[in-house]
Structure formats: structure tokens, C-alpha cells
Amino acid sequence: MSDAIAHLFDNNRAWSSRMQTEDPGFFLRLVRQQAPKYLWVGCSDSRVPANQIIGLDPGEVFVHRNIANVVVQNDLNVLSVIQYAVDILKVEHILVVGHYGCGGVKAALNDEKNGLVDNWLRHVQDVRDCYVGQLAQMEDPSWRHDRLCELNAIHQAANICQTSVLKDAWQRGQNVTVHAWCYSLDNGLVNDLKVSARSHEQAVEQAQNAAARMFWMKKSKRPR
């Protein structure tokens, strides 16, 4: 084994031993049952760890992460995660969590060239292009970046609400709500973007309201 990663095995053995000492039934419970109430759809960024941010143990949150927390209708990966989480695990809340300072969003905002990933980030540019006029009015580039991080999370949450998986779940009366959040690397706090939708129509209305509120605040203090 490479010496460069040997410490990861040391860490793993120490973690396993600590968990068994602190909670002797921990691993047995996990093996027997997976019943998370939450699906987290977040960015792959190494600074945004799902479980730690919301203080949940393994087994309590089902997780999907990709660059810039994008949800597109032809991505079999994210659609499969959502379908399994909703239909089989019956999660009650889907949390779409963007984060301020997202490198993927910044690259999309500024047309940066990073190779193959540029194609993936076209989806974030679609969001940017919906608000190109409002974003251009923001004189501070960091404000533009912050707002697009928020708008992207809101739009991706609305995209989840458009999937046949969610539409079918709501049609049969299943209890599942889709939320949009934005996480701050500066202080570790989550900003609720005020999208908590239980239908596609509600998601569209809440997304429009959230975007309008965000641009109305642009002349006042930085809204976070």
C-alpha cells in the first residue's frame, strides 16, 4: 500500500474503535436498517460535508453530490438517487444545498474554461442566463457570485419538483417536501432560501418570489 494513504487506514481503524466504544450497538443497527428521513443533494466540494453540517449520524441522511449541485432531467445518476430515496426509502425532506463560494458556480458565472466540466456547468449557465440583466446590475462581483449560488440551488430544487418521481409521489399523497438552502463556508451556517415545496406549482411560485426578494435586496446590505 502507498505510504501516502496509509494514514487513512489508521484513521479508519481509530474511528471504528471510537464508535464501538461510544455506542456498542452502532454498527449492528446500521447493518439492519437504513431509514433516513432526508435526501441531501449538494456540491462535491470537500468543504461541504452533509452529515456534519446538519448534525446527523451515518444512516440518517441519503446523499447525492455533484459539482455545483445540479439536477437535470437526463442525468440517470441523480434521477436514480431521487427515485430510490422517494419510492423505496420514503424520505420526507429533500434538501438541495448550494454553498457560497462555489467554484463551479463561479466558473459558470465567468465563462471560465476548465475542460470537460464546462459542459456540466452549462446547466448553471442556463440559470445565470435567466437573470443576466439583474446580475449585471450588481457592481460587486462577489454579490453576483453569491446570488447565483442561491439562484442555482433554488432552480435545482424546482427541477426536482418537475421530475415524474416527485409528481407521482405527490399525486398519491406521499409526504415529501423539497427545500432549497445555501451553506456559508465563512461561518458554517445554512441560509434557508425560503423554498419548501410540496408541489411543482408551489416550487415555481416560491422560486420566483425568492429570486425577486434577492434582487430587491441588492441595493441594501449583503443579504447573509
Site for Zn ion in 61-120 (CB under 5 A): 102, 104
According to CB under 5 A, which one of 39, 40, 42, 43 is a site residue for Zn ion?
Answer: 43
**Number of C-alpha atoms within 13 angstroms, CB side, residue 211?**
21
Least Cα distance to 86 among 155, 181, 177, 199 occurs for 177
Judge whether 65 counts as a catalytic residue.
no
Is 149 a binder of Zn ion (CB under 5 A)?
Answer: no
Residue type, 63: V
Catalytic residue at 222? Answer: no
The catalytic residue among 99, 123, 144, 145 is 99
Query: 99 catalytic, yes or no?
Result: yes
- Residue pair 37/85 in contact by the 8 Å Cβ criterion: no
Active site residue 129: no
Instruction: State the minimum distance, in angstroms, from the CB of residue 145 to Zn ion.
Output: 11
**149 or 210: whose CB is closer to Zn ion?**
149
Q: Which stretch binds Zn ion (CB under 5 A): 7-15, 35-43, 182-190, 192-200?
A: 35-43
Shortest gap between Cβ of 148 and Zn ion (angstroms)? Answer: 11
Instruction: Give me the long-range contacts of 184-190 (CB less than 8 A, separation at least 24).
Output: 184/99, 184/100, 184/224, 185/47, 185/48, 185/99, 185/100, 185/101, 186/100, 186/101, 188/53, 190/53, 190/54, 190/97
Other residues' Cβ atoms within 10 Å of the Cβ of residue 37: 14
Give catalytic status of residue 161 as yes or no.
no
Q: Which of 64, 102, 179, 182 is catalytic?
A: 102
**Residue selected from 36, 40, 41, 45 as contacting Zn ion according to rule CB under 5 A:** 45
**Positions marked catalytic:** 43, 45, 47, 99, 102
Q: Which positions lie near Zn ion, rule CB under 5 A?
A: 43, 45, 102, 104
